[in-house]
Amino acid sequence: MKNKKLAALFLIIIVIDALVAFLWFYLYSQIGKEKDAVKKNTQDAAIFEINVQNLKTLERQIGETENEKRILDSAFVSREDIVPFIDFMEKLGLDVGVAVEFTSVKFDGGKNENPRLQFKMEGNFKNIFRYIVLLENLPSQAIIEGMDMNKKENDDIWKADIGVILAGYMPEKK
């Protein structure tokens, strides 16, 4: 009987040891899985952080590109920009002290040729000269095709007829 009790006790100890060993292996494997999940989440967080930084860089570059595009677009005048361009040139004349009157705007029937602008100016010589210098330095590349200047008799007022070609013309902005 003593052997039976000892055998039963021994069997119970072996079963408990087996359960403890199983529990230990189970917990160890679960810890390994959690460790892998934490490692993956850490990698995902690092990739996400890099993506956020790349997005901020991209947004900044898009902003810079938009500014560069605006600057570049100001060098060109499209068909829909002709009237605002003429209004700008008339206002520029007023700012300089010269009366500017456009007499014609010619487009060559759809051949994508640059428009030709004809206008008259009236003012003192200094202001007309300033206007011409500003016209030559516009970002939209206006080329003076011809100019005729005359001084009114007994007066300090000059008149000028000017022909300009818009070299920076694009029929359509893209």
Instruction: Give residue 67's pLDDT band: very low, low, confident or very high (50, 70, 90).
Output: confident
Integer Cα distance of 121 and 135 in angstroms:
13
Check: CB of residue 167 under 8 Å from CB of residue 114.
yes
The per-residue DSSP string of 96-123 comes to: HT-EEEEEEEE--TTTTPPPEEEEEEEE
Q: What are phi and psi of 160, to 5 degrees?
A: -140, 135
Predicted pLDDT of residue 119: 93
Instruction: Give residue 174's pLDDT band: very low, low, confident or very high (50, 70, 90).
Output: low
pLDDT tens by residue, 88-118: 889 999 999 999 999 988 876 556 678 888 9
pLDDT tens by residue, 14-56: 989 899 999 998 988 898 888 889 999 999 898 889 888 888 8
What's the pTM value of the predicted model, to 2 decimals?
0.57
pLDDT (average), residues 125-130 = 91
Instruction: Give residue 9's pLDDT band: very low, low, confident or very high (50, 70, 90).
Output: confident
